[in-house]
């Protein structure tokens, strides 16, 4: 059993980006990654507790609490750490035996709105020992600890036969190198990309002054352009040109046009709803993508657009020419660095066409829009904006990040998981689902996870803006079936 006395005492400065995520909690949206594993056969609490103590705590971050100060935050070893505080038994209502999935979804929705206790490390696991012939393991992890892709590295170490994380260099832990700085120095390959981030960070103080001075974002960004050019890398016309390009693109990112004013946008409440569907065979998705000469991602995003569009039509809304913007996380590091945790992703604004009824036409339109984003600096700029936000006072950070949420209907993730099913404490991990948090006034989160030969869609929604996310989920499979049927009907080999 791991005790507080057995943990090495570490004080490590939190990166600016992780600090931004820490301070982004709001009454409507908590910055937690929420996940659930459905395991068969059942597993025992003692085995789960011991496995997590053995494997999870090899990552120092999971035994560290957050300590705030005037200039930011630090990770500090929790000298009162107790594994039983973070790994708990959970019981669903007795009536849940008739409708176990609905009861589980309701409990997940409740947990999504219960803050983690900041006196302790910001994570917990909850085990339902007996659930529908197996067990369920619920996880909540604050986003400031890591992003979803980094947590895949953690999962790989937890399962049966999992590998321990690589040992971090002692200097990195003792001297507190910031994750963002490590990433900029070692993980990015393209020199222009490194210079772009440095140019954006060079404008950080100026950005803070501008946001404190004026409320109109267009005036803010004009000042930002001037300040950034004056403070960017000195003595190089190429660097100055790059700084201008970066800041100009940043202005375009901040001044994005509004997406369509659907019923999915508005002021969120203080309750969530959670839903998911049964997996769609990945081989079928792959076959459609090859036939249409597009990516698997294009096919899946088209299904999302179709499902949301059908949901709105069923509610009586006209979706002609309607579209919604979804912020999609884009990984900005090699997976070999994922064990270091932290947040190293940008955000790409993907605009989904809702009003295209023909599934083939919709896939091609999604493919066109995704092609325009390839090679874009926007994900990188979003990462830089989060780094800048992490050094601003919280009201200014909130105002800055609201530029994103006001232009966005959903946050959407698409994570490729293992092709074969994993095992945990002797049981098979039958289904794995997760939901990423939404920020500001965003009320819809869509998760796409490929795992064990299937693709699964999950939704978490604000109960005021989307009280019945299952009604969207129920459209995913029909939308894919329509696309598959039309693909088969195309005149292959003719002409």
pLDDT at 229 over 90: no
* Nearest-angstrom CA–CA distance, 332 and 381: 11
Classify strands 427-435 and 32-40 as parallel, antiparallel or unpaired: antiparallel
pLDDT at residue 224 in the model: 42
pLDDT at residue 393 in the model: 60
Instruction: Report which listed range, 39-53, 183-197, 387-401, is most confident.
Output: 39-53
Q: What are phi and psi of 112, to 5 degrees?
A: -65, -20
| Cβ count near 244 (within 10 Å) | 15
* Nearest-angstrom CA–CA distance, 382 and 441: 18
* Domain span(s) for CATH 3.30.559.30 in the chain: 272-419+439-489
From 3.20.20.80, 3.30.559.30, 3.90.226.10, 3.40.50.300, which CATH number describes the 272-419+439-489 domain? 3.30.559.30
pLDDT at residue 419 in the model: 86
Which band of pLDDT confidence, cut at 50, 70 and 90, is reported for residue 243? low
Query: Distance of CA 381 to CAs 13, 196, 237, 253, 326, Å?
Result: 23, 8, 21, 8, 16
pLDDT mean across residues, the chain: 79
Which band of pLDDT confidence, cut at 50, 70 and 90, is reported for residue 200? very low
Instruction: Report which listed range, 62-71, 193-202, 243-252, 388-397, is most confident.
Output: 62-71
Which H/E stretch holds residue 32?
strand 32-40
Angle between helices 296-314 and 476-489 (to 10 degrees): 120
What number of CA atoms fall less than 13 Å from residue 253's CA on the CB side?
Answer: 27
- Nearest one of 365, 339, 426, 363 to 145, comparing CA atoms: 339
pLDDT at 319 over 90: yes
* Nearest-angstrom CA–CA distance, 352 and 45: 43
Q: What angle do CA 444, 351, 208 make, to 5 degrees?
A: 75
Query: Distance of CA 245 to CAs 67, 197, 318, 376, Å?
Result: 37, 12, 39, 12
| Cβ count near 237 (within 10 Å) | 7
Which band of pLDDT confidence, cut at 50, 70 and 90, is reported for residue 195? very low
CA dihedral 222, 329, 475, 33 (to 10 degrees): -120
Q: What is the CA radius of gyration of the chain?
A: 23
Please state which CATH number belongs to domain 4-170.
Answer: 3.30.559.10
- Nearest one of 194, 168, 195, 170 to 183, comparing CA atoms: 194
pLDDT at residue 96 in the model: 66
Q: What are phi and psi of 264, to 5 degrees?
A: -80, -5
What number of CA atoms fall less than 13 Å from residue 86's CA on the CB side?
Answer: 28
pLDDT at residue 283 in the model: 94
> What is the model's pTM?
0.80
Dig out the tokens for 112 from the structure.
């999504």
Which H/E stretch holds residue 148?
helix 148-158
pLDDT at 377 over 70: no
pLDDT at 359 over 80: yes
Do residues 82 and 4 touch, judged by C-beta distance below 8 A? yes
Q: What are phi and psi of 74, to 5 degrees?
A: -135, 155
pLDDT at residue 197 in the model: 43
| Cβ count near 393 (within 10 Å) | 11
Which band of pLDDT confidence, cut at 50, 70 and 90, is reported for residue 344? confident
pLDDT at 226 over 90: no
pLDDT at residue 338 in the model: 67
Q: Tell me: the pLDDT tens digits for 9-18?
A: 667 899 888 8
Which H/E stretch holds residue 483?
helix 476-489
* Domain span(s) for CATH 3.30.559.10 in the chain: 4-170
pLDDT at 215 over 70: no
Secondary structure class of 332 (helix, strand, coil)? coil
Q: What are phi and psi of 16, to 5 degrees?
A: -65, -40
pLDDT at residue 247 in the model: 59
């Amino acid at each position: 059993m791991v005790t507080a006395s057995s943990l090495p005492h570490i004080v490590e400065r939190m990166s600016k980006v992780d600090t931004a995520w820490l301070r982004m909690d709001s009454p409507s949206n908590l910055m937690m990654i929420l996940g659930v594993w459905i395991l068969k056969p059942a597993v025992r609490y003692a085995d789960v507790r011991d496995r997590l103590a053995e494997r999870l705590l090899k990552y120092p971050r999971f035994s560290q609490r957050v300590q705030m100060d005037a200039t930011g935050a630090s990770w500090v070893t929790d000298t009162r750490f107790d594994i039983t505080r973070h790994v708990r038994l959970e019981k669903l209502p007795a009536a849940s035996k008739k409708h176990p999935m609905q009861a589980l979804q309701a409990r997940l929705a409740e947990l999504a709105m219960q803050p983690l206790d900041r006196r302790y490390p910001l994570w917990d696991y909850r085990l339902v020992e007996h659930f529908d012939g197996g067990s369920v393991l619920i996880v909540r992890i604050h986003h400031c600890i890591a992003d979803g892709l980094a947590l895949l590295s953690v999962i790989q170490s937890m399962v049966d036969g999992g590998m321990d994380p690589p040992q971090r260099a002692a200097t990195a832990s003792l001297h507190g190198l910031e994750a963002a700085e490590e990433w900029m120095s070692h993980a990015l390959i393209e020199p222009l990309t490194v210079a772009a981030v440095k140019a954006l960070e060079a404008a950080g103080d100026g950005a803070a002054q501008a946001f404190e001075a004026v409320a109109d974002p267009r005036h803010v960004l004009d000042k930002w352009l001037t300040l950034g050019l004056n403070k960017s890398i000195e003595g190089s016309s190429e660097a100055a040109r790059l700084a201008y390009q970066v800041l100009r693109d940043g202005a375009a990112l901040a001044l994005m046009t509004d997406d369509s004013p659907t019923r999915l946008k508005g002021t969120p409440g203080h309750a969530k709803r959670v839903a998911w569907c049964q997996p769609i065979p990945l081989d079928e998705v792959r076959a459609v993508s090859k036939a249409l000469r597009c990516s698997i991602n294009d096919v899946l995003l088209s299904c999302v657009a179709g499902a949301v569009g059908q949901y709105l039509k069923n509610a009586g809304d006209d979706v002609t020419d309607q579209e919604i913007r979804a912020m999609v996380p884009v990984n900005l590091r090699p997976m070999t660095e994922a064990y270091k945790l932290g947040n190293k992703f940008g955000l790409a604004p993907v605009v989904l066409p809702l009003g295209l009824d023909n599934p083939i036409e919709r896939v091609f339109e999604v493919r066109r829009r995704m092609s325009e984003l390839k090679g874009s600096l926007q994900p990188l700029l979003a990462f830089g904006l989060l780094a800048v936000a992490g050094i601003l006072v919280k009201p200014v950070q909130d105002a800055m990040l609201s530029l994103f949420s006001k232009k966005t209907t959903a946050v959407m993730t698409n994570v490729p998981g293992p092709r074969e099913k994993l095992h945990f404490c002797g049981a098979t991990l039958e289904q794995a689902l997760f939901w990423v948090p939404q920020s500001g006034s965003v009320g819809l989160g869509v998760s796409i996870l490929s795992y064990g030969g299937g693709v699964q869609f999950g939704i978490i929604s604000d109960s005021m803006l989307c009280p019945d996310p299952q009604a969207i989920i129920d459209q995913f499979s029909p939308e894919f079936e329509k696309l598959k049927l039309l693909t088969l009907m195309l005149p292959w080999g003719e002409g």
